[in-house]
Structure formats: C-alpha cells, structure tokens
Structure 1
Amino acid sequence: MDISESFWNASLEELKQGYIEESDSYFCLLCGEKIEKGIIYPHEGIFYEAKRYMRVHIEGSHKSVFDYLIGLDKKLTGLTDHQNHLLRLFYQGKSDKEVQTEMGIGSASTIRHHRFALKEKERQARTFLAIMELLKEKDQHAPAFVPPHKTATMVDDRYAITEEEQKEITKKFLPEGINGRLIKFPPKEKQRLIILREITRRFETDMIYTEKEINQVIRDMYDDYVLIRRYLISYGFLERKADGSQYWLKK
C-alpha cells in the first residue's frame, strides 16, 4: 500500500487517529506499519490487542499524530513558521500569558488575536473542504492527480501530475517496468519527479542502507548513481546521516 496515497485519501477522523482499519489489520498512515488483527502484542511487559497496540506504536514511534502533522513541510500544512510555533505551544497547554512570554511578542491580548486568526483559518478550511467535496459530485472532467509524497521538500507545479501522465512517462523512460533499466534520466523536472518516485520502489521501507548498498541499488537501474542519489535526497525521498554512513527511505 502506498503510504502517501493512503494518507491523502484518509478521512479527517482517520487522520486524527493516525491509522486506518483494514479487513485484517490496522495500517499506520504516518509510516506504513501494519498491525495484524487477532494477534496479542507484548510491549514493556504489557500485552495489547492489535488496535490498542497501534496507538502504542504511534506514541512510541511518532510521539503523537499532532507532532507528526505539525512537523510536515509548510507547503503541505499551509502554516507559517510563526503559526506553527503558536500551535505547538497551544498543544502543550500553555496559557496566553505563557505563550506571550516564551515567544516574546506583544501581550496576552496579542496571543488571543492569534488564536482568533487561527480559528478563522479553521473555518475557512472547513468551508473549502465542503466546497471541494460537493465539486467532486459534479466535476466530471477533473483529472485524477497523483498525491505528492508526504516527505516532499518543495511542493509546487511540478507535483501537478495526473495518473495518465505518470503511466506515460514511466513507460517512456522505464519501458521494462520497475525491474528494468532506466534508459535516460528525464530532462524535465516533472518527469524526473515521476521517475524518482518509481525508483524508490526498489528500496525496502524499513531498511537502513550503507552508501555502497544505496549506490548498487541505483546502479542496477542507471549508471550515474550519484546523480540519482542526489535527486532522491533533494526531493525528500531519501534521508541520510550527516556523514553519509546510513541511508533510508523517508516516511
């Protein structure tokens, strides 16, 4: 299951809880962890049924759904750095006076004004969501867009990719499919994004790779592995340690 697609297709309630329920398991929308139903999971001397253990997983791996969501790129949350800081402090249960003191801005009434502005943003978001839901029922010509990956570092027009475009570009540059060779690294940024997304399918989600292992996986597809590796990192598909000793897929 594609984590980003599941994340963006989830309902508001599912996003708030951080997971979705499937027929035989619970699926973490934040990292893709799957907890099978019907199994008892031990954790620190306590045994949990699957649904409760999923909540334990989220707390242990992500701290909270709020912390995960607030940590997403500002292009995905629509929040300024200032608003992000305010929401973090509000979530911690700080009073207006405490927030004002910590941020060193205005007065307690200034913070109340910011609360009002955020509430207004919430009302606008709810209205917009309702409009878009109603539009889906009438707009028969809307193309099916591929959702951006959650770890994207720069969401812009390059991410306006339809499912049809993705199939066309993938077939053009990877004619033998994901297990074949990349015949050429595309010249256009949108095309590169599509191909980079396909290349990530060669990597295991929960595996830590050495630089040599990363290079080999890429080299199996394309000779200029340094170029591809650099793009995978800059587009937010791969993460690495500062010394380059370990690499892994970002979730």
Structure 2
Amino acid sequence: MDYQEDRFWDASSEDLKRGYTYEHETEQFTCLICGKAFQKGIIYKWTEDMLMEAEKAIKQHIKDEHGSVLEYLLTMNKKYTGLTEVQRTLLSCFKDGQSDKEIAKQLDVGSTSTIRTHRFKLKEKEKQAKVFLAIMDLLKKTDQQDDLVQIHKGATQVDERYAITTKEREKVLNTYFNKGVDGPLTKFPSKEKRKIIVLQQIIRRFDSDNKYTEMEVNEVLKPIIDDFVTVRRYLIEYGFLDRSKDCSEYWVKK
C-alpha cells in the first residue's frame, strides 16, 4: 500500500497548505490527504466536456473529494493542531467570512470584544509557531539523534509510548516478524511500545483507498496471527483503523 503517514509529516508547510506534493523522481503530484496521485504529462478526463493536466487535476480532486485543505486541517486532532474547540470554531467562522458580530451571536458570547481577544491570541499563537518552526529547522542541521519514527495521524493518547527510534523499530520488527515483515507474527507483543510498532507495520497491509467488511479485515489479518480478532480490536483502539457504527465497513484512518 502507498502509506501516507511519512509523506504527510515530511511535507513542507507550503505543501501542506496546497494539500499535495510533487515528486521530481516519479513526476507525480500526490494528495497529502488520501494519497491519490496524478502523473505529470497525462491529460485527465474530468467530466464529459472537461480535460485537465495533472496539477490542475489534483487541485480539483482536493476540492471535490476533501472540500478544502483548510477544512481538513481543522478537523485534525487537537494533539496536532494545538487548537481548542472554541478556536477551531472561530477559525471556521473566519474562513466563512463572518463578522465579529455574527460570530459573537453564533457562539453566544454577547460581546465582539471577546472575539477580538480570541483573534489576538490566535495571532500570538501564529508568531510562536513561526519561531518554533525556525528553531526546529535549524536544529535539524545539528541534531544527529533525531531519528524518531513518525506518529500516525489517527493516534490516540500520544505519549512516551510513541517515542520510537528507527533502530528500536527495526529491532522489534526483526524479533516479531522473524520471517520478514510480510510474513506472520511469532507472537503479539504485550509491551505498549512494541505493540504500536507491530501495529504500524500491520496496517501497511491495508489499502488506504479501500473500504473493508469485517470478514475482509479478518482475511488480511489471518495470515499474520491466529488471534486476529484481538489485533483487529487493537488496530481500532490505537487509531489505525476506523469503522462505521454498525461495523459493516472498516477503513484505514487518515
């Protein structure tokens, strides 16, 4: 499967704002939200009377399938955006062009001065983010120990369990997949950090563009381990898989 996590987190801030990356080696424009790719040089038939070149096609894809990049980013978990529910609502209102008076009425805060205070705090947050990004970019040039594995976007309760180095990951995978990562598990780990590493590898066997029935999920997991029901539960619990309320459909959480 074309796994999205590394691509998303390795993207520049400019790529994140656009919602897609361009890879010079493959000459592909790839959606950072779902992984759909468009090949440079190919003309895509969008509708019966509309043709598009690759970059225009991926922009239209994002608009048609995801609404907008801003809408998607605003729906991301607080642990990634750092936004409270109120701040997220305010930003959505700002996006829609609402006046402070309209927003104050919608949020039932009574005064536009409250909205102006929130605007000020968000501007301060923006300044802090710019400085922090500059610090981290400069640190990359000198920090030789920063080899932590990226956390998947659906992760729940992010804590020290996710502080996983590349070496740790390789050691755990070699231990629990002693016939190779495409083979079966020797056993399912009990320690939390090892459990996460193994689940990160297992989810790669699912196609992020597909919807699965419970039986289809089981069929993917059965060659990996006999107790596939427990692994399926952990994939959901740790935010790798999501499912409909009636459990009729499963999909990779993006």
TM category, shorter: over 0.9
Out of 131, 138, 142, the position equivalent to 2:142 is 138
Q: Secondary structure at the match of 2:105?
A: helix
Match in the other structure for 1:8? 9
Question: What amino acid is aligned across from residue 196 of structure 1 in structure 2?
Answer: L
Quick check: 1:210–1:246 contact (8 Å CA) kept in 2? yes
> Hey, what's the Cα distance between the residues in 1 that align with 2:202 and 2:127?
40
State the structure with bigger RCO (CA 8 A, min sep 6), 1 or 2.
Answer: 2
Deviation at 1:143, TM superposition (A): 3.1
Aligned pairs for 1:154-165 within 5 A: 154-165=157-168
> Hey, what's the Cα distance between the residues in 1 that align with 2:165 and 2:222?
28
Match in the other structure for 1:21? 22
Residue correspondences, number? 250
Match in the other structure for 2:120? 116
User: Structure 1 residue runs of 4+, over 6 Å off?
Assistant: none
> Hey, what's the Cα distance between the residues in 2 that align with 1:42 and 1:76?
36
> Hey, what's the Cα distance between the residues in 2 that align with 1:3 and 1:210?
22
Deviation at 1:198, TM superposition (A): 0.5
Match in the other structure for 1:107? 111
TM-score (norm 1): 0.96
Deviation at 1:178, TM superposition (A): 2.3
Gaps of 5+ in 2: none
Match in the other structure for 1:190? 193
> Hey, what's the Cα distance between the residues in 2 that align with 1:54 and 1:70?
20
Q: Secondary structure at the match of 2:55?
A: helix
Aligned pairs for 1:150-229 within 5 A: 150-229=153-232
Q: Secondary structure at the match of 1:138?
A: coil
- The answer to which of 209-218 and 110-119 deviates more is 209-218
Question: What amino acid is aligned across from residue 128 of structure 2 in structure 1?
Answer: Q
Deviation at 1:151, TM superposition (A): 2.0
TM-score (norm 2): 0.95
Question: What whole-Å deviation, never above 9, does each CA across 1:7-61 have from its counterpart, x for those lacking one?
Answer: 1111111110000111321011111111111111122331111000000110111
The answer to whether the aligner puts 1:76 opposite 2:80 as a matched pair is yes
Question: What whole-Å deviation, never above 9, does each CA across 1:64-119 have from its counterpart, x for those lacking one?
Answer: 00011111111111111111111111111111111100011141011001000000
Match in the other structure for 1:129? 133
Deviation at 1:199, TM superposition (A): 0.5
> Hey, what's the Cα distance between the residues in 1 that align with 2:151 and 2:199?
12
- The answer to which of 57-66 and 130-139 deviates more is 130-139
Gaps of 5+ in 1: none
Give identity over the alignment, percent.
Answer: 49
